[in-house]
Amino acid sequence: MAAVRAPRPGQPAGGIEVFLTLRHKSPAITREIRRSKLFFERWLPYSAFACTNAFGGKTMKVDFYRHSISPDQAKHVAAVLETPFLTTGPVSRQVEQQLRDFFDVPHAMLTNSWTNGAIALLLAADIGPGDEVIVPAMTFVATANVVEMVGATTVFVDVDPDTLLMRPEDAARAVTDNTRAVFPVHLYGQMVDTEALREALRPRDDILIFEDCAHCFEGRLHGRLSGAHSDAALFSFYATKNVACGEGGAIILHDGELASKVQRTRLHGMSAGAVDRFKTGSYAHWDVDALGTKANLPDLLAAFLPDQISGVYDRLEKRRAIAQGYAEAFAGSNLVRCVKDIPGALHAHHLFPIAVPANKRDFTLNALAQHGIGATVNYRGVPVLRYYREKYGHTPGDFPVSDSWGASTLSLPLYPGMEDAAWRHVADTLLKDILPRF
């Protein structure tokens, strides 16, 4: 059993002692474990009620993220189990058509992750050793990793200090004779101007533009969705994304020849997948004329996507309301910096990152955790990570905007099912309990 003892005279309110008594039936074994304030503060934020914490404020458990797939969606998985195809089959084909309609593109194919989809795309474009690919220094490491995985060279560029997005002119300055592609990243839910990027790269029309849309499924810029001005756009359907199925992704393209190659490179380079090998009623042989990876998405996961895609704008309304609430709450603080919105653009609000003084970032993360609030870092600059630092010799300061943001940023909870009381508690905790301790 457990008991809570009130503070002794002179003991701080946060220093409540918890006594846990365990009794064994036979033989009778009684063990009393004294736990101090530290145990109490670590354990209680995960309970269903609030308490006083070490900072003197109130704790409320607020998860960093909760997905929006309801138990009712299990019926779609059950429907797949009634078919012969647990792997890529008719459900995936249905979702691919839904993507073609949503983005108004001729080609779309599902992948089992953004990462494997990107590798399949780079292989299809015959990008490898001796080639260079331009990547923003501020992004998730996967954007650069896929370049390295195919043997190409990653060329980093810094980002805009207000939006944290790649600037077309910076990408253009990084172009060399070996440049084969550029990866503009629609970070946090806002889009890089790919139309301006295309113009900035001229006359090098041979340079491919592959949009990293992992954070931006439904966003728009100048009224256009992702994929309008690029050679391909890649999406992630990871568990925390605005459209999610646990693990997954997609590629949309305009060029039929490149799409045909990706169709093969996402499945070992094979000329026919499982469905195609049996679509005539009898077995059809397949061949391999180029290497590929294993990037196809099974129908068991694709089954979650039709409802996720059709409901994405309904969920965006809630995301936008929470993001606006945060922004208004922090508007008067000189210790919190938010990413600036692009005027006239439709922000997907995948994440709500802020920046605090760099020497207080980890303190803030730990303090939020003690209050029961989930927070994370999106992201540290990629060039300062050990692999890239040692391979390319990058040092802090080479990409000042990315380095500064990466040392000071953290992301606050944001998801469609988040109650207003939860995000208000997060904002109040920062403003009233944590920032005054700086």
Indicate if 134 and 278 belong to the same structural domain.
yes
Domain boundary among 310, 332, 365: 310
Distance CA 228, CA 223 (A): 10
Q: Domain check: are 101 and 185 in the same one?
A: yes
Same domain, 124 and 248: yes
The total number of residues written for the chain in this structure: 438
Q: What is the pLDDT of residue 81?
A: 96
Q: What is the CATH number of the domain that holds 331?
A: 3.90.1150.10
CB 438 within 8 A of CB 357: yes
| Integer Cα distance of 117 and 271 in angstroms | 17
How many domains does the chain divide into?
A: 2
pLDDT of res. 279: 65
Residues 382, 236, single domain; the answer is no
In this predicted structure, what is the pLDDT of residue 29? 38
| Domain end among 264, 286, 310 | 310
Clarify whether residues 317 and 259 are in a common domain: no
CB 120 within 8 A of CB 111: yes
**Domain presence at residue 92:** yes
Where among 310, 337, 353 does a domain terminate? 310
- Are 237 and 217 members of one domain? yes
Specify if 41 maps to a domain. Answer: no
Closest to 237 (Cα-Cα) out of 229, 248, 228, 252: 248
Does residue 370 share a domain with residue 288? no
Range of the domain at 352: 312-437
Question: Running along the chain, 438 residues long, what does each successive block of 10 average in pLDDT?
Answer: 40 36 39 37 37 59 96 95 92 98 98 98 98 98 98 98 98 98 98 98 97 98 97 98 98 97 94 66 80 96 98 98 98 97 97 98 98 98 97 94 98 97 98 96
Q: Are residues 283 and 375 in the same domain?
A: no
257/119 same-domain check = yes
